[in-house]
Structure 1
């Protein structure tokens, strides 16, 4: 069967599913952006949890629907918890996404990112510099973020053109998008459709938020409001999804 390509209609349908099902997303997240990420996941209808406690991680991952891992603030204790979480998620067949933040800065961080990429994540997502050093991600969906987000798997190449430059001026918008992708993976097993739809939702919301913002501070608040208030017609009117089809 030919793989489906993402559409604005699919993005609108999946957003409605997220809001209806309220999936649980566990976040092993950069500590700098935990609140913003939790607020954003909540705004689109998900239920976030954030603990990185070794004694609690098994219980939390068991109860979650999807897992997002971000290497932004990394130490040995967090590495251990991430390994436990990934083992449980894989054992229980739960989707997970890894964002190898700053793996181009540190050899040890890159080594850990490579370790995770070999453990069968659903998605590996990073900026151009990070993905250049990550290289092959096996069977995972590969997402390279930037002014245009590029997604590729074995069968499909997709570009999400939506977004706004103010996203780069607020710490954590990328981390938040990883959490939103996880929420969409909880309701859509096709990682490409889930991720492209989630990035479309975040990109359109950012464009709407920018209309009401005078700078990064007001944009952050407006962005959360836009995620919460986003309507299907906003997605259908403003989505810019491009793809290559053989």
Structure 2
């Protein structure tokens, strides 16, 4: 068993990005109301196809068609929870992978209990900040809504535990991202503090993870590559942006311009 995180390799990122653009996955995003447009634009910039279908009956039909499903509980309601359950069950029946983003789990009872129920439905991937991953693994945490009060490294053990229990590849994101399948752990450096000054970079990353998790091959490498693609675009955007307002278009441009060959 590899106990120490190892950096994700450039060759792995190149391979995953190439596959992603070849497959152009259709990603069903059941995400929060605040980030839908930004999430769709991020997926489009990378070459994927986003769709936001939220009615319970339609969501179940669509998740069987899509390549991957994202379940983001940021603006969870009871009606939306039922639609998410219907979509997940249909995805599982069709053997389509689904990804969980447990936004603000730990501080709010309804979403915390709901996400514990979802773990029983075997997500392919889970992406959250340190506080969310610790809370989802039922560790004592302190958090402030979507803001983590924990360093990502402090949640590695919880992420491994969560991966072993759920069967998911778990990504805990922060200044350094850690991705684990419960046995191996990969580290992903990079990004920019400006990514925390605009709405939706984490949620959009979860949608990208959902698309990468649908690719053939080793899921842990695909999920880590998704994290590196987003962090690299953040670095490049920050280098030319004057602040949060100019960061967003520069970030989308950077995603669009990423070339697999630069990682080889």
- The alignment status of 1:131 with 2:159, answered yes or no, reads no
- Aligned with 2:60: secondary structure? helix
Q: Distance in 2 between matches of 1:108 and 1:83?
A: 14
Residue number among 197, 204, 211 corresponding to 1:183 in the alignment? 211
- The alignment status of 1:202 with 2:230, answered yes or no, reads yes
- Aligned with 2:34: secondary structure? helix
Q: Distance in 2 between matches of 1:5 and 1:122?
A: 21
Q: Distance in 2 between matches of 1:121 and 1:12?
A: 25
Residue number among 219, 239, 242 corresponding to 1:211 in the alignment? 239
Do 2:60 and 2:91's aligned partners in 1 also have CA atoms closer than 8 Å? Answer: no
Deviation at 1:59, TM superposition (A): 2.2
The answer for unaligned runs of 5 or more in structure 2 is 138-160
Which residue of the partner structure matches residue 199 of structure 2?
A: 171
Deviation at 1:133, TM superposition (A): 1.2
Which residue of the partner structure matches residue 46 of structure 1?
A: 48
Q: Distance in 2 between matches of 1:191 and 1:6?
A: 13
Do 2:30 and 2:54's aligned partners in 1 also have CA atoms closer than 8 Å? Answer: yes
Do 1:150 and 1:158's aligned partners in 2 also have CA atoms closer than 8 Å? Answer: yes
Once the two structures are superposed, residues 210-237 of structure 1 have per-residue CA deviations (whole angstroms, 9 ceiling, x without a partner) of 111011111111000000011124434x
Q: TM-score, normalised by structure 1?
A: 0.90
Once the two structures are superposed, residues 144-185 of structure 1 have per-residue CA deviations (whole angstroms, 9 ceiling, x without a partner) of 111111112232011111211111111100011111111112
Which residue of the partner structure matches residue 185 of structure 2?
A: 157
Which residue of the partner structure matches residue 152 of structure 2?
A: none
Which residue of the partner structure matches residue 222 of structure 1?
A: 250
- The alignment status of 1:37 with 2:47, answered yes or no, reads no
Aligned-pair Cα RMSD in Å: 1.7
Q: Distance in 2 between matches of 1:82 and 1:233?
A: 38
- Aligned with 1:183: secondary structure? helix
Deviation at 1:117, TM superposition (A): 1.4
Do 1:14 and 1:188's aligned partners in 2 also have CA atoms closer than 8 Å? Answer: no
Do 2:8 and 2:187's aligned partners in 1 also have CA atoms closer than 8 Å? Answer: no
Which residue of the partner structure matches residue 174 of structure 2?
A: 146
Q: Is the deviation greater in 210-219 or in 139-148?
A: 139-148
Q: TM-score, normalised by structure 2?
A: 0.84
